[in-house]
Amino acid sequence: MQEIFGVPAPLLFGQLLIGLINGSFYALLSLGLAVIFGVLNIINFAHGALYMMGAFVAWLLLNYLGIGYWPGLILAPLIVGAVGIVIERAMLSHLYDLDHLYGLLLTFGLALIIEGTFINFYGVSGQPYAPPEILNGGYNLGFMFLPKYRAWVIVASLAVCLGTWLLIERTRLGAYLRAAVERPDLVRAFGINVPLMMTLTYGFAVGLAGFAGILAAPVYTVSPIMGQNLIIVVFAIVVIGGLGSILGSIVTGLGIGLIEGLTRTFYPEASSTVVFVIMAIVLILRPNGLFGRPRE
Amino acid sequence: MTDTAMKPATGLRGRRFVTPVLALLGIALLIAAPFFGIYPVFLMKLLCFALFACAFNLMLGFVGLLSFGHAAFFGMAAYVTGHAVKAWELNTVLGIGAGTAVAGVMGLVFGAIAIRQKGVYFAMITLALAQMVYFFCLQVPFTHGEDGIQGIPRGTVFGLFDLRDTLTMYYFVAAVFLVGIFVIYRTVHSPFGQALKGIRENEARMISLGYPVALLKVLAFTMSAALTGLAGSTKAIVFQTATLTDVNWHMSGEVVLMTLIGGMGTIFGPVVGAGVIIALQNYLATIGSWVTVVMGTIFVICVLTFRRGIVGEILARWPKKG
């Protein structure tokens, strides 16, 4: 069998694939966090819980209403996004004039409420969620076996990430949004409804988390605690990438996923801590993150 | 920073006589408490968490930095003390000292890494570093993974007092608590503490006045971590266990909640907050995992409507003397 650095090639590529899958979810989630922070100046601690909610909505749709994966792929993000809009209108919008920490604390409380509620109804053990029939099976690439569903996850999340980037960087709506980040008062003076834009931004970014959730449902099991530890890794990724750049958060997310995959192959004991070690090193060398701009 | 930054309640001038009276009342209450029929183990738990919250508040309330990783110091100190007392058969006091020292060193390292950041970044970084400690504790052999360290002997205070006796244990914990609170009180009212408050109010001005701001912050963080370690170590002796629960980020969140509900930036707010939360947890133990939902709800309500906390609210209404 072919070996690379003393590791069988299929094992290495297998771990890299898992790393790429995890990286896709990191990218989707850190992208959402970066967008929310950019526009609302809030770190959304509930992002992991809403990601979990996306997976659960898909599972509930399938098991109680018989709605399958493909409609779920549209419905789950919409439902989670709607929940996000309610959260923003009812709570977050009252905190914009206060220290940013209050937003973090409020969303932490929300994460506890959402996760606690789901744990009470469904326990901490996972629920299986089968991938759609058309994505069963896989491709034999010669050096490794690539399950179709995993290929789809990577393609879909990359497409959504790039779409979001284009939306923000290359469209008129995105230009308004970027302007509102810099000078919300001036943008309002031009007659643009900034509060509405903030609400929709939060709904959209949270919808991205819901989308990541349903994508993840067939890969991992659907469990109320699936977002708990993930959100902290995503926080570390956001610190590594710096919150200034959307493309930066996508690249960092994928990169960290791959590095975790490599670590799992060569030194498995460190695979869950490597991201935090990288974060510490980046903070010492580049305090504003790899892609971040200096902050005031 | 917006100008409506996290400002704790100020005020309370002309309380020269109030403080010693309150302090004596508090000590009397501590001594008398077990005779009022309150379960001593509950009181000890309360005191440990109250000290934990006060140590945490040293950072949040007086330097203005929110650490979301204090569970790392609390839990690690508990593990170190448990291991030192059980496996190395160290005296209990030395074991607690070891836990406190390790937590202090960790605080120094965390502080050195995170201190250049402020606000939400500081919170995220401390949370991530603490998660690293959590995974470390999950994997290294001396913590016994999911089982934790069980059956830690309570031992004696250098052979003088036998801590297996619940009442003796209680007075030992009360003494540790008082020492911790006294250290915090003295720190806050020292020139060092004043400099910290200056950093909280206007960091740029403190830098221009020539204060070594980064160093002061790291020192404060180290102290806060060491005192948190003291609380964690003492808890490990009281309950004779050290488990992953103590290092988990839920614990970090709990101490934030205690401080928030009691009143950040006040000396005794966190004590009150710890009392409320611990009592609530005890009272709600029967509803099982709904406790998490209740905690989350309190968090949300506090942030939306009750940001000064219980003690902060009282202080804000206290009649001010000119």
Distance of CA A230 to the CA centre of its chain: 9
How many degrees, rounded to 5, is the angle at CA A236 between CA A179 and CA A202?
Answer: 35
Q: What is the mean pLDDT of residues B235-242?
A: 93
- Residue among B124, B249, B298 whose CB faces A43 most closely: B124
Nearest 5°: phi and psi at A9?
-55, -45
Q: Which residues of A touch B113 (CB under 8 A)?
A: 280, 283-284
B298 contacts A105? CB cut-off 8 A? no
Residues of chain A with pLDDT under 50: 296
Assign B314 a pLDDT band (cuts: 50, 70, 90).
confident
- Residue among A94, A98, A113 whose CB faces B293 most closely: A113
Alpha-carbon gap, residue A257 to A281, rounded angstroms:
17
Question: In Å, how far is A50's CA from the nearest CA of chain B?
Answer: 15
With 80 as the cut, is the pLDDT of residue B311 above it? yes
Q: What is the largest CA-CA distance in chain B?
A: 60
pLDDT tens digits, one per residue of B7-52: 444 444 445 667 778 788 888 888 888 888 778 888 999 999 999 9
With beta carbons less than 8 A apart as the criterion, state whether A48 and A181 touch.
Answer: no
Q: Which residues of A touch B251 (CB under 8 A)?
A: none
Q: Which residues of B touch A113 (CB under 8 A)?
A: 292-293, 296-297, 300
DSSP annotation of A138: E
Q: What percent of chain A has pLDDT over 70?
A: 98
With beta carbons less than 8 A apart as the criterion, state whether A178 and A192 touch.
Answer: no
Q: Which residues of A touch B5 (CB under 8 A)?
A: 99
B293 contacts A117? CB cut-off 8 A? yes
| B35 contacts: CB under 8 Å, gap ≥ 6 | none
Question: In Å, how far is B168's CA from the nearest CA of chain A?
Answer: 38
Residue A7 bridge partners (DSSP): A4
With beta carbons less than 8 A apart as the criterion, state whether B27 and B174 touch.
Answer: no
pLDDT tens digits, one per residue of A24-34: 999 999 999 98
Which of A40, A43, A232, A264 is the best mutation test for B, with the most CBs of B within 10 A? A232
Round the average pLDDT of chain A to a whole number and report it: 88
Domain ranges of chain A: 7-225
State the ipTM, two decimals: 0.86
Q: Which residues of B touch A47 (CB under 8 A)?
A: none
Question: The dihedral of CA A270, B243, B100, B248: what is its sign?
Answer: positive
